[in-house]
Amino acid sequence: MVNERIRIKGFEIDCCSVNTLIIGSGAASLNAALSLSSFGQKDIAVVTEKWGGGTSNNAGSDKQTYYKVSLSGDEPDSPSLMARDLFNGRCMHGDIALCEAQGSAQAFMNLVRLGVPFPQNKYGAFVGYKTDNDPRARGTSAGPYTSQKMFEVLASEIKRQKIKVFDRYQAIALLHSGNGENRKITGAIALNLKEKDIQKAFVVFNSVNIILGSGGPAGIYETSVYPVSQAGSTGIAFEAGASGQNLTETQFGIASLKFRWNLSGSYQQVIPRYISTDQNGKDEREFLNDSFPDLRSLTRAIFLKGYQWPFNALHIKDHGSSLIDLLVFHERSIKNRRVFVDYSKNPVGPSGELFDISKLDAEVREYLVRSGAEGMTPYARLASMNPSAIDVFLGKGIDISKEYLEIAVSAQHNNGGLKGNIWWESDVSHLFAVGEVNGSHGVSRPGGAALNSGQVGSHRAALYISEKYNSQTEKLNDFLKEATEQIEARIHMAAYWMKSGRKSEIQLLMKEIRKRMSENGGIIRTREAIKDASDQAYQMLKGLNEKISASTVKEIASGFRLVDHCLTHYLYLEAIRVYIEAGGRSRGSGLVAGGEETLTEEWLEKGLRFTVCGYDRDIENRILEISFRDGRIHEKLTDVRQIPEQELWFETVWKKNLEDNLTEC
């Protein structure tokens, strides 16, 4: 790693030359750094806005799931079967599904080796359970904070190996050269958030490769369960010309508001009471009873919400679990009421039926009995089934034995993101997207598959870099010939904001972006509204520079974040618009209003018409790719690649390894 100082337009800029720069400090990013190190590449550095500030270290659920190939029991499983189940989630490329499945055991056992306490029995079997969209019990968990434990062991190893970390640095742009298929990443620009002097805060990285692991676009949603410290920086990749895919496929679910937390799994399986109140906490009522015929169907839907936690258009009809999400959404957004779950009392049925475990649906009753969760209240059942789920809230000063949890249907995960190949390299060469920022997941992924994907993908990216992109960085003068104009453009923006003298509108504009996304890119989407929203997003993007002012490094950083989020939300809204206008119907967590089927529940005064996607239309059966180049949107539909036939003859594979030909695409 080489450090030099350069001067551009009166700004003193530190310039660091490094083979691979990793942006972000989540579990995928840290695993990328450690994997590179294990392959012998030591010329690496991690850039992060806040060490431990991402989703990995700050998110979880009742027992946060890590999805892996089965490693216990007598139920048949294999990488091929796992790949098929990932692929069956629709709009996921088969070769990537196969890579995620083939790498699953290796990635999982690496975490075990580092110290993540995944449960095993005395014979060494890592036992599992079923999660959403999972036909085989592949889920496992280290408790409510599985990803946090992953972060802890990976971070400890980063520190032990003394891998360079630039903490409190915000990446604001990716540097690139060439055009079209010849475009490649050459480095990045960041702001040193610890520096007080704006003219000394810019830092430039001259690198052969960038691994982007900055998480999903958490900052573009108003109603969100992403940790407050998580923002995302997908926009800098879009600005550099990288394509997104499946941007329509954000995942939403019921979460608490006072403390952002997913209320999945056992939080639902113990069957809490759902209530709503007016804005002052008065007029308490069990509003779900308006739409369920009896207590048995109501309690079954709440129970199923545990492992069908993400809202899914397929789970609405016939009093399915996702009807609850719609009811919660309607109560809050249309009726302007507050919604809570209550663990201190059992739900009462529509005709006043009292809760009785012996009268529950057989599947529900068996689960509670086998789990030893037969207590008299939801809280008592949760204390028996999963006491650590209670401790999560106690740690935040919330006693759910007494206090209602206010909830909303919240943005939780983006199944789409940047386009990548089987080595997690984007369509801008030398830019790799790992973790949630990579859009590999398709429409309906199994719960916990994202953690597996992040570990497998980051390892594969590191392997490819070590085999193919292991060269020295360009000499500084040669690098600057290509990069100076791009660096000057960001400096000019910052200088313009500093001289504007206007009142800053950054926070107001951020609120506008988040409100627009949650209202139009949430669980209910309409053709007319999404077109208006996309148009508004584009108009904001065009005039954004004239509305930003800044006088500190922190404000400059917020200005660049606003630019990132504005571009990101425009592409996401535009992708939804294209999908709907091309005839795309309800799927995953997006219900497209309008269609042949009608929900005529009493709670929707005018009824809600929608049709579940049949995957028999071009827009539904292919992957929508979208990019922003030369100031305009580019869209195309790509056929879903099938799961490939593998060469599994040992001598043939061995020969490729001996010839150092493993990474040939």
| Mean per-residue pLDDT, 95-115 | 98
Q: Do 403 and 529 belong together in one domain?
A: no
In a domain, 610, yes or no: yes
In a domain, 515, yes or no: yes
Residue 607 confidence (pLDDT):
61
Sorted by sequence, the CB contacts under 8 Å of residue 160 that are 6+ apart come out as none
Phi-psi region of 179 (alpha: psi -120 to 50; beta: other; left: phi over 0): beta
User: Given pLDDT bands bounded at 50, 70 and 90, which one contains residue 515?
Assistant: very high
Handedness of CA 184, 188, 189, 191 (dihedral sign): positive
Phi-psi region of 192 (alpha: psi -120 to 50; beta: other; left: phi over 0): beta
Q: Do 388 and 510 belong together in one domain?
A: no
| Mean per-residue pLDDT, 188-192 | 98
Q: How far are the Cα atoms of 72, 73, 117, 118, 656 from residue 125, in angstroms, in the given order?
A: 5, 8, 13, 10, 33
pLDDT at 327 over 60: yes
- Percent of the chain at pLDDT > 90 equals 90
In a domain, 134, yes or no: no
Handedness of CA 321, 323, 327, 330 (dihedral sign): positive
Please report where in the chains the tokens 């209670």 appear, as a residue. Answer: 390
Percentages of the chain per state (helix, strand, coil), in multiples of 5: 40, 20, 40
Last residue of a domain, one of 366, 390, 412: 412
pLDDT in tens, 135-163: 999 999 999 999 999 999 999 999 999 99
Residue 237 confidence (pLDDT):
98
CATH number at residue 326: 3.90.700
Angle subtended by helix axes 553-581 and 476-499, to nearest 10 = 100
* Mean predicted lDDT score pLDDT of the chain: 94
In a domain, 200, yes or no: no
pLDDT in tens, 289-319: 999 999 999 999 999 999 899 999 999 989 9
Q: Do 394 and 299 belong together in one domain?
A: yes
Q: Do 532 and 405 belong together in one domain?
A: no
CATH number at residue 614: 1.20.58.100
Residue 656 confidence (pLDDT):
85
Please give the tally of structural domains in the chain: 2
| Mean per-residue pLDDT, 262-271 | 96
| Mean per-residue pLDDT, 191-196 | 97
Residue 385 confidence (pLDDT):
95
In a domain, 360, yes or no: yes
Q: Where are the alpha helices (DSSP H) in 146-187?
A: 146-160
User: Given pLDDT bands bounded at 50, 70 and 90, which one contains residue 600?
Assistant: very low
In a domain, 506, yes or no: yes
Residue 557 confidence (pLDDT):
98
What gap in Å lies between CA 32 and CA 456, rounded to an integer? 9
User: Given pLDDT bands bounded at 50, 70 and 90, which one contains residue 446?
Assistant: very high
In a domain, 443, yes or no: no
Residue 596 confidence (pLDDT):
56
Q: Do 509 and 610 belong together in one domain?
A: yes
What gap in Å lies between CA 373 and CA 627, rounded to an integer? 50
Q: Which of 371-375, 539-543, 598-602, 608-612 has the least mean pLDDT?
A: 598-602
Please report where in the chains the tokens 């490693």 appear, as a residue. Answer: 71
User: Given pLDDT bands bounded at 50, 70 and 90, which one contains residue 181?
Assistant: confident
pLDDT at 590 over 90: yes
Residue 519's domain comprises 499-622
In a domain, 540, yes or no: yes
